[in-house]
């Protein structure tokens, strides 16, 4: 779908250039980018308005919001116009066993595929860190439908290293990971830690406009979110003790701010980051790599260690 959109846009520019002049080859993409930037601006305005109405801690300076908007204007075309449509196969998952090292399982968010993680996969390959990624399908299906796919990814990571993996989920991916963890009480013993990035753990205001199944499940106070939380509490006294939740006070998709946090989790704020850009923030990526190094020397569960 994303390939078709990009190719159709390129063809429209080419046809316009032939009929109206070559300047139109630049004009049409500029119009498209301007529309995208305008839609992002509306999201940031909503995020600020909703956050202030609910008394959320938000940056007071307009410059902070402007920088976040500008960053997202740059991340969007790279992710949705290049990495996901055309580069999603460029960095294959780790194929050979790497005993003794903690693997990373990458779970993307809404309307994405494994190409979203291109900078992560390159970095992981550079440092020799094994990783497994997923492309969640169906695109607009229930979050529960993603459980078998995450199970398969975790099994692959376990076979690669013989150790519980570090799970990393961006946006909706964090909820998909929680759904997998809640699918069986034993799942939590099979992960080293869970790192979520801008995940709508309590739903997001923006999802009220969604008509997809998974979009409705991410609405604030949805029955699906309530049932998930009840199942987690029933299975574990402290279900979020293994979670690190990164969140931003200028997130333009998952808001209000505290919806990306979990009680009892290690909640970490990145001020001034946008939704997509938060996934590639140096603090987030660096902390994940450091955590994986620390987990390498941590005895796996079941070794008789506390």
Query: What's the pLDDT tens digit per position in 213-241?
Result: 999 999 999 999 999 999 999 999 999 99
Check pLDDT > 50 for residue 55. Answer: yes
| DSSP label of 189 | G
Report, as an integer, the average pLDDT of 95-117: 95
Question: Cα–Cα distance between 22 and 16 in angstroms, integer?
Answer: 8
Structure confidence at residue 35 (pLDDT): 87
Question: Cα–Cα distance between 256 and 246 in angstroms, integer?
Answer: 14
Coil, strand, or helix at residue 275?
A: helix
What are the φ/ψ torsions at residue 101 (nearest 5 degrees)?
A: -110, 145
Q: How confident is the model at residue 185 (pLDDT cuts 50, 70, 90)?
A: confident
Q: How confident is the model at residue 305 (pLDDT cuts 50, 70, 90)?
A: very low
Calculate the CA 257 to chain-centre distance: 16
Q: What is the mean pLDDT of the chain?
A: 92
Check pLDDT > 50 for residue 177. Answer: yes
Q: How confident is the model at residue 261 (pLDDT cuts 50, 70, 90)?
A: very high
Domain ranges of the chain: 2-86, 104-296
Q: What is the fold, at CATH topology level, of the domain defined by 104-296?
A: Rossmann fold (3.40.50)
Contact partners, residue 252, CB within 8 Å, separation at least 6: 40, 43, 44, 46, 47, 68, 69, 72, 274, 275
Cα-Cα end-to-end distance for the chain? 48
E strands, 74-230, are 104-107, 131-133, 166-170, 193-197
């Amino acid at each position: 779908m994303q390939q078709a959109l990009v190719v159709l846009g390129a063809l429209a520019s080419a046809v316009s250039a032939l009929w109206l002049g070559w300047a139109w080859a630049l004009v049409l993409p500029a119009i498209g980018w301007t529309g995208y930037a305008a839609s992002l601006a509306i999201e940031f305005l909503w995020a600020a308005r909703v956050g202030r109405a609910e008394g959320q801690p938000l940056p007071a300076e307009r410059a902070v919001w402007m920088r976040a908007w500008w960053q997202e204007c740059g991340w969007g075309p790279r992710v949705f116009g290049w990495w996901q449509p055309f580069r999603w196969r460029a960095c294959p998952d780790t194929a050979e066993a790497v005993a003794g090292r903690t693997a990373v399982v990458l779970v993307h968010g809404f309307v994405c595929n494994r190409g979203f993680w291109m900078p992560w996969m390159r970095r992981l390959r550079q440092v020799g860190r094994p990783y497994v990624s997923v492309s969640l399908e169906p695109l607009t299906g229930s979050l529960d439908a993603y459980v078998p796919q995450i199970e398969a990814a975790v099994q692959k990571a376990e076979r690669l290293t013989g150790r519980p993996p570090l799970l990393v989920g961006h946006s909706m991916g964090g909820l998909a990971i929680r759904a997998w963890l809640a699918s069986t009480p034993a799942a939590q013993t099979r992960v080293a830690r869970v790192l979520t990035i801008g995940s709508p753990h309590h739903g997001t205001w923006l999802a009220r406009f969604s008509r997809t199944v998974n979009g409705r499940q991410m609405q604030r106070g949805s029955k699906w979110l309530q049932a998930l939380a009840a199942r987690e509490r029933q299975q574990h006294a402290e279900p979020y003790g293994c979670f690190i939740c990164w969140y931003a006070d200028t997130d333009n998709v998952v808001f209000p701010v505290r919806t990306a946090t979990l009680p009892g989790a290690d909640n970490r704020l990145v001020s001034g980051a946008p939704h997509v850009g938060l996934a590639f923030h140096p603090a987030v990526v660096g902390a994940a790599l450091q955590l994986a190094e620390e987990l390498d020397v941590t005895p796996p569960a079941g070794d008789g260690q506390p």
